[in-house]
Amino acid sequence: MQESTVNIIVVGGGSGGTLSANLLAKQLRAQIQTGEVKVHLVLGSRQHIFQPGYLHVAFAGQDPTEIVREERSLVSENVRLIEEPAERIDLKSQVVTLTSGRTLHYDYVIIATGSVPNPKAIPGLGEAALNFHTSPEESRRIWDVIQKFEGGHVVVGIAGVPHKCPPSPNEAAFLLDDYFRKRGIRDKVKMTFLTPYPRPYPAEPMSKVVEPLFKERGIEVVTFFNVESVDATKKEMCSLEGESQSYDLLIMVPPHRGADVVLKSGIGDADGWIPADKNTMRITGYENAYAIGDATGIPVSKTGVTAHLEAITASDNIVSAIRHGRQLYKYNGRINCPFEMGSGKAAFVIGSYDMPVKEIQPSRIRYMMKMAFARFYWRTLSGSLDWLFGLYFGKTQTVEGA
């Protein structure tokens, strides 16, 4: 290793981590070729999963293999792929320790370790409820179960917060309603949507869109229900408020927490969320360490699009620092969550730090946009379509000191 080599480590191979590594390799190509810079991507898994696809695996019968690819096929040849999970990250010593005990020193690090569904946080939830946030296999279980379901009370909802993809519980209810109607058994199914929030969707402007559609479809909404425990034998949920809810089929989005490596490293809060500057993506107290995507505790939705835009900011800031530039890039909090609402229609949840979420009605064209993104997703990880992102999203970061 050259004495002057700058080592950059990206921890986590999800949307944000893969894109970060590819962007760094692209922008620092000349320095990588001369040995001045090395970009490493440390993987938690050799497989990369298109997680928004869980919804269609669970409720539309999509083949789970269609949403999975080998991470190696998605990463630039200028990225050094390390197919071994990180065990610890020491921000002070600037060292990443792998599960084998091997240590990697870095000059810059981007932590993109995502979030972990945590059904165990609620007694009985893991045994009683199905969920489509854990894996392609778990999502497929839902599809297998609903095909045999002939009628009864279906409860869908949010077991705890935070969780990734805020619209997904509502989307599940819409798609289940569609499915039961196609099977001709909707009149035999009672559907209830359960939420700890005061309305069907957390952001009021979009809740105004969801509420009448739920009412039109006969989906009952129970608000302010904070799940405390679930009894799989009695098929009953109890809330912190002292209420109970029975069910025949239970599909709940579990609360999420930060990754194991973050908790073991002590770099997050009690639930494993990393404190980071909401604009620069720098981890609090460190100028050479960044956290992006679901791994952070910043006040923005945990979605793939958010991780993508944050990855651009973190990568740009590292490139600027390596080139001794004065530019400091700042993410503006832009969110753009596709929101499927059944009947082949979708909306988007759009907002930013300075722009409250808008009320957007579902349409066929927005549904087609969502489905097109699913097809283009793999190409977006290379960074080659960021010009298109720029056209669609507009400015998502500001530049200081340019």
**Interatomic CA distance for residues 196 and 155, integer angstroms:** 14
pLDDT at 335 over 80: yes
Average pLDDT in the chain = 95
**Interatomic CA distance for residues 28 and 6, integer angstroms:** 11
On whether both 47 and 125 belong to a single domain, the answer is: no
Tell me what the mean pLDDT of segment 193-200 comes to.
97
User: Is the torsion defined by CA of 267, 269, 273, 279 positive or negative?
Assistant: negative
pLDDT at 391 over 80: no
**Interatomic CA distance for residues 66 and 106, integer angstroms:** 35
In Å, how far are 40, 241, 263, 283 from 109, measured between CA atoms? 9, 43, 17, 10
Domain range enclosing 103:
6-114+259-400
The answer as to whether 393 is a domain residue is: yes
What pLDDT is recorded for position 4?
83
On whether both 169 and 294 belong to a single domain, the answer is: no
* 57-61, 369-373, 397-401 — most confident range: 57-61
The encoded tokens of residue 239 equal 């809330």
What pLDDT is recorded for position 266?
96
Q: At what angle do helices 15-27 and 304-322 cross, to 10 degrees?
A: 30
For 153-182, letters b (16+ CB in 10 Å) and e give bbbbbbbbebbbbbbbbbbbbbbbbbbbee
The identity of residue 272, as a single letter, is: G
On whether both 243 and 267 belong to a single domain, the answer is: no
The residues, any chain, with a CB within 8 Å of residue 25's CB and separated by 6 or more, are 32, 39, 76, 78, 79
Query: H or E segment at 335?
Result: strand 335-340
**Interatomic CA distance for residues 130 and 178, integer angstroms:** 19
The encoded tokens of residue 376 equal 């283009």
On whether both 64 and 151 belong to a single domain, the answer is: no
Tell me what the mean pLDDT of segment 206-228 comes to.
98
How many structural domains compose the chain?
Answer: 2
The residue out of 222, 253, 284 marking a domain boundary is 253
What pLDDT is recorded for position 1?
41
The residues, any chain, with a CB within 8 Å of residue 102's CB and separated by 6 or more, are 84
The residue out of 253, 285, 316 marking a domain boundary is 253
On whether both 349 and 284 belong to a single domain, the answer is: yes
Give residue-wise pLDDT tens across range 291-302.
999 999 999 999
Band of pLDDT at residue 390, cut at 50, 70 and 90: confident
What pLDDT is recorded for position 401?
83
| Closest to 263 (Cα-Cα) out of 88, 14, 9, 112 | 88
Give residue-wise pLDDT tens across range 280-294.
999 999 999 999 999
The answer as to whether 44 is a domain residue is: yes
What pLDDT is recorded for position 3?
57
Range of lowest pLDDT (6-15, 111-120, 344-353, 384-393): 384-393
Residue 296 gets which letter from DSSP? B
On whether both 123 and 110 belong to a single domain, the answer is: no
On whether both 98 and 161 belong to a single domain, the answer is: no
Range of lowest pLDDT (29-33, 150-154, 393-397): 393-397
The answer as to whether 205 is a domain residue is: yes
What pLDDT is recorded for position 402?
64
User: Is the torsion defined by CA of 227, 228, 231, 232 positive or negative?
Assistant: positive
Residue 145 gets which letter from DSSP? H
On whether both 218 and 239 belong to a single domain, the answer is: yes
Give residue-wise pLDDT tens across range 336-346.
999 999 999 99
On whether both 289 and 394 belong to a single domain, the answer is: yes
Tell me what the mean pLDDT of segment 106-123 comes to.
97
On whether both 396 and 266 belong to a single domain, the answer is: yes
On whether both 217 and 316 belong to a single domain, the answer is: no
Residue 401 gets which letter from DSSP? -
Tell me what the mean pLDDT of segment 95-108 comes to.
98
The residue out of 253, 280, 311 marking a domain boundary is 253
The identity of residue 360, as a single letter, is: I
Alpha carbon dihedral 27, 297, 351, 227, in 10-degree steps, equals: 140
On whether both 102 and 195 belong to a single domain, the answer is: no
Cross-strand bridge partners of residue 96:
89, 104
Q: How far is CA 380 from the centre of its chain?
A: 15
What pLDDT is recorded for position 27?
97
Tell me what the mean pLDDT of segment 60-76 comes to.
96
pLDDT at 2 over 70: no
The answer as to whether 1 is a domain residue is: no
Give residue-wise pLDDT tens across range 252-274.
999 999 999 999 999 999 999 99
Q: Is 270 helix (H, G, I), strand (E, B) or coil?
A: coil
What pLDDT is recorded for position 182?
97
pLDDT at 166 over 80: yes
Band of pLDDT at residue 174, cut at 50, 70 and 90: very high
CATH number at residue 89: 3.50.50.60
The encoded tokens of residue 126 equal 């893991």
Return the percentage of the chain with pLDDT > 70, whole number.
99
